[in-house]
Amino acid sequence: MENKQQEHVHLLIIGSGPAGYTAAIYASRANLKPVLYQGIQPGGQLTITTEVENYPGYPEGIQGPEMMVDFEKQATRMGADIRYGLATSVDFSKQPYKVTIDEEKEITADAIIIATGASAKWLGLPSEQRLNGSGVSACAVCDGFFFRGKEVAIVGAGDTAAEEALYLSKMCSTVHMLVRKHEMRASKVMQDRVLKTSNIIVYWNSETDEVLGDKKVEAVRIRNNQTGEKKDVAVSAFFVAIGHQPNSAIFKEYLQLDEQDYIVTVPGTSRTSIEGVFACGDVQDKIYRQAVTAAGSGCMAALDAERYLSAKEHQ
């Protein structure tokens, strides 16, 4: 495409969940005049979450989308330039770094903060999407609390699934764990803990046929992939714990990623393998993945960017 629109900015923030918006708040207050592009899902994963009860400062809890509107308003009030648009390609081979928005506008920036997040992997069932937020969740730590004393199901076989099943077992009456093969991928110690927990029932060689319920989750239909036998198990929630995919594909050519495609940052900082490019939130955090930790890392990225830009100006 010839004649792309061009613009130069001091600090560009890519992504708009708790990490991106917090970075924008801090960067604005440091007079860095940040420009933030919201990406494909303005507000990030929290916009598909219902009640958020574990974010400090909201004693009554708050709806995820409403919380992200609050974050955006605060960033705007501080002076951040927030825009619709998706970063479709980057060129970090030389400074100033280039980012193409919606394949048509080219932005150059003195520093960049990446806050593109991660997307939960889903099974791809229509019923799973239809009941998402009405008992279907990809985060047991976020939503398990709402199903205290109830029976729930979880699908997955890795360490995350095992951790989440154990977490749920402490507050739910029974946890029905669906494992696709005859064994788990989780580490031996995690498997042992799951198998020793009396209120976790493991279904081996089992897949989810359908999540049942009209307005909310009422049951899950489990299919044994060896025998073909199906059975319905009454549950109030269905947790999908088959992993997350960090939204890092466009950076792959330039930045160091780990084996799961999370952006690698220098421990204790938001610095990436390229000077002047910072990463925060779930695109670089595969351990905690909470709104509050994402916001904290957004603050770190803005402070790191501010120090970097200030040092550059005084060279």
Q: Which of 81, 91, 110, 139 is catalytic?
A: 139
pLDDT value of residue 202: 98
Q: How far apart are CA 133 and CA 139, in angstroms?
A: 11
Q: How far apart are CA 138 and CA 247, in angstroms?
A: 16
- Is 208's pLDDT higher than 90? yes
Q: Residue 222: name the closest of 211, 209, 203, 241 by CA.
A: 209
The larger pLDDT score, comparing residue 253 to residue 43, is at: 253
The larger pLDDT score, comparing residue 233 to residue 119, is at: 233
Residue 41 lies in a domain: yes
- Is 1's pLDDT higher than 60? no
Q: How far apart are CA 116 and CA 210, in angstroms?
A: 31
- Is 2's pLDDT higher than 60? no
Chain position carrying tokens 């069932």: 125
Q: How far apart are CA 74 and CA 24, in angstroms?
A: 9
Q: What is the mean pLDDT of residues 97-116?
A: 97
| 172: annotated active-site residue | no
The secondary structure of 187-216, three-state, reads CHHHHHHHHHCCCEEEECCEEEEEEECCCC
Place 3 in a pLDDT band, splitting at 50, 70 and 90: low
Q: Which helix (H) or strand (E) holds 309?
A: helix 291-313
Q: 67 and 160 share a domain?
A: no
The larger pLDDT score, comparing residue 227 to residue 64, is at: 227
Residue 13's domain comprises: 7-119+244-313
Of the listed ranges 12-16, 129-133, 293-297, the one predicted with least confidence: 129-133
82, 76 contact by CB (below 8 A): yes
Q: Which of 240, 269, 304 is the last residue of a domain?
A: 240
Q: Which of 70, 81, 110, 143 is catalytic?
A: 143
| 261: annotated active-site residue | no
| 280: annotated active-site residue | no
Q: 261 and 114 share a domain?
A: yes
Q: Which of 240, 258, 274 is the last residue of a domain?
A: 240
Q: What is the mean pLDDT of residues 150-178?
A: 96
Q: Which of 70, 91, 102, 142 is catalytic?
A: 142
Q: Which of 240, 269, 300 is the last residue of a domain?
A: 240
pLDDT value of residue 282: 95
Give me the CATH number covering residue 228. 3.50.50.60
pLDDT value of residue 48: 67
Q: 135 and 235 share a domain?
A: yes
